[in-house]
Each structure stands twice: as structure tokens, then as C-alpha cells.
Structure 1
Amino acid sequence: MMQDSVKGIFTEAIQTQIAAADQLQEPLLRAAELLVDTLLNGRRIYCCGENMAHASARHFGHMMLTGLNFERPPFPVTALHADFGAKEHEAIFAQQILAAGQAADLLIVLSSGAQAPRVSKAMEAAVARNLFIIAITSDADTDVAGLLGPDDVEIRIPSRNTARVSEHILQLVNMLCHLAEQHIFPQEIDE
């Protein structure tokens, strides 16, 4: 019984990978271009995630500062802090964007579920401050996609399963970091 369950989890993960490989190439490349343009133009990047995706946002911020594939100068990326004790808990990311975000900076938001109130408020703040947005979402998303403008990018993972989406969010932030390093420091990448 448990063996069938384990095999089912692997099968679902593989099927999601195949669907993602077919559907996400174009938005991933657009997101990587926006990320690289932001870095090359001396702008800052902020990232945040809702619920389980918050750990992936912190992971992305760390990799962009320290390097994924090789030692390099840090990229100007800040993983927004989630202070669960704040009076305005749902506005915590938005407050940080309103305090520090500047026009043409970039906000990367990660959401593995249907609703993302903290991320949505951060996006509203980003729109008010004229930041660009990259959103990595799921097929279950009901909050994030509606806040994106024509110059923003959504990478919508083809799954409604929170575990599969969380796995792909981590993979996608690793890929974004790799693509940025590859473009900015091509001499360092071993193909």
C-alpha cells in the first residue's frame, strides 16, 4: 500500500516536470531577461513568498548574494523579512517595498497556493512604486495573476498540488539564478 503511494508521488512529480518543461520555457526566459536587465541596469531585486514558498524566497536571496555555481560578486537582492509578530502581518512585505523600492526595481513573488494575501499586498505596493514583477504561481492561484501588468512575467506551474508546486518553485529560482550567472559571467560557466 505505502509502496504504491510512493510510486504515485514520483509519477505525479515526473508528470508535472514534463508539463513544466513544455509550458514554462518561454515565461522562464522572459523572467531571466527581466532579472538580468534589472541587474545590469544597477537596480535592486526584492523577493518574497507566501507560506511554504517563503523558504524558497529566502533561498533565492541567499543564492543571488553568495553565488550558485561559482564565487562571484553579490547581486543586489533582498529577501523580504516576514515578521509574524507585526501588527499589520499581511502588510509586512508591502511595507518593506514602500520603504525601499524604487521605480524599475524588481519584485519576485512566489506562491504555491490559491491565495497569497501578503504577496498580493507586496505586489500592490510594487505597482504603486513602479517596480517590475516576476510571479511564480500555481494553477490554483486566484490572487497573484490579476495584479500583473503587461511588462511583468508570470511563471504558472502546471499543478494545483502544493507539494509539487513547492518543488518546482525551488527548481525555478535555482534556474533563474543559474541563467543570471550564465549571462552576466559567461566565462565562469562550464557547459
Structure 2
Amino acid sequence: MHDAIKRLFTEGIQTQIAAADLLQEPLVRAAELLVQSLLQNQRVYCCGEATAHATARQFTHMMLTGLNFERPPFPVSALHADFGATDHHSIFAQQISAIGQSGDVLLVLSASEQSPRLTRAMEAALARDMLIIAVTGDHDQDVAGFLGPDDVEIRIPSTNLARVSEHLLQSVNMLCSLVETAIFPQEGDE
């Protein structure tokens, strides 16, 4: 059992090292996109497939309540994953079609290979002329194909579901921190 625990820590550390090298630029671009949109009074909508749905809700909570200091809430909403919907795969897309506006941002989080609810949400966002930030794993087969030149993909360098899930949470924590510091730089000085 001790060897298994050490192996899991080692995998996590190796993914961290690879991510530190590969994800700096996409994280900066994503944070800049969020800051620009929020300063222009646009909204951010967030959704995640499978286990990433909880991370989407966590991101929304942090953006509303503050991560590093007390501040006004940012206009960020988590899309609901109502499994009672008649068309399960279109639940996020229906919400984007109803409330998304040109210039708003859709943040999608995926730890899976295939993400039909996310890709439909992205289609709806594109139809609304929204911008997209996608946080995915190396095994993603669906999400990346929907991104345009103004969109951002943060591709976590792992195909292991557990490592990708860990880094989804870390990525949204970083994004929230970067956005807060950019919009309220005086708070970061204290």
C-alpha cells in the first residue's frame, strides 16, 4: 500500500511539473480573456462534464464570493445539470441559448475523452458569438475541435482521469486568483 501511495504522489508531481512548463501561456490568455470580459460587463457561464461539474460549481462559488480577499462578486453562473431534462445532452446548450449574449464567456471543464453536453453547449455559445475557455485533458477528443482563434484551451498534460481532475481544480483556482489580482491590484499588494 505504501508503494501505491508513493506512486500516486509521484504521478501528481510529474503532472505538476509538466503543467508548469506547458500551461503558463494558456492560463495567462484565459485570465486576460476573463478580465477583459468582466470589465466590459459581460457574463461568464461555466459547466463541466461528469466529475468536472463539481469543479465548475467551485469556480462559480469562488468568482462570486472571492478567493484571496473580500471583493464585489463577479457575474459568473454555473449551468445546471438537470438530469430530469427531456434531452440530457442538450441541457447546457439550452441554457446558453436562453441567456448567453455576444461577448459573454463560456468556461467548459472536461476530464473525459468525450463530452457531448459540453460540445453542444459550445455549439450554442458559438451561435451566440460567445468566447470559450476550455480546460481539458490530453485525451480530449471533442472539445478542442470547437475552439476558434479567439478562444483558449488549457490542455492538462495527462490522460489519467484523477490527475486531470486534480488539475481542473488547480486551474480554476489559478484563474480566479489571476482575475482577482488583475481587477483589484491594490488588494494583492497587502
Instruction: Give the TM-score category using the shorter length.
Output: over 0.9
Query: Could you tell me which residue of structure 2 aligns to residue 48 of structure 1?
Result: 47
Query: Could you tell me which residue of structure 1 aligns to residue 162 of structure 2?
Result: 163
Query: Could you tell me which residue of structure 1 aligns to residue 110 of structure 2?
Result: 111
Secondary structure of the equivalent of 2:158?
coil
Residue 9 (1) aligns with residue 16 (2): no
Alignment deviations for residues 10-45 of structure 1 (CA, whole Å, 9 cap, x no partner): 000000000000000001000000000010011000
**In 1, Cα distance between equivalents of 2:146 and 2:113:** 14
- After superposition, residues 3-82 of structure 1 pair within 5 angstroms as 3-82=2-81
Percent identical residues? 71
Secondary structure of the equivalent of 1:73?
coil
Residue 89 (1) aligns with residue 77 (2): no
Secondary structure of the equivalent of 1:160?
coil
Query: Could you tell me which residue of structure 2 aligns to residue 100 of structure 1?
Result: 99
Q: Which runs of 4+ in 1 moved over 6 A?
A: none
**In 1, Cα distance between equivalents of 2:82 and 2:188:** 37
Alignment deviations for residues 48-76 of structure 1 (CA, whole Å, 9 cap, x no partner): 00000000000000110010011111000
Secondary structure of the equivalent of 1:165?
helix
**In 1, Cα distance between equivalents of 2:182 and 2:26:** 17
The amino acid that maps onto 2:155 is: R
The amino acid that maps onto 1:79 is: A
TM norm structure 2: 0.99
Secondary structure of the equivalent of 1:136?
strand
**In 2, Cα distance between equivalents of 1:129 and 1:88:** 20
Query: Could you tell me which residue of structure 2 aligns to residue 189 of structure 1?
Result: 188
The amino acid that maps onto 2:47 is: C
Offset of 1:190 from its aligned partner?
4.4
TM norm structure 1: 0.98
| Count, aligned residues | 190
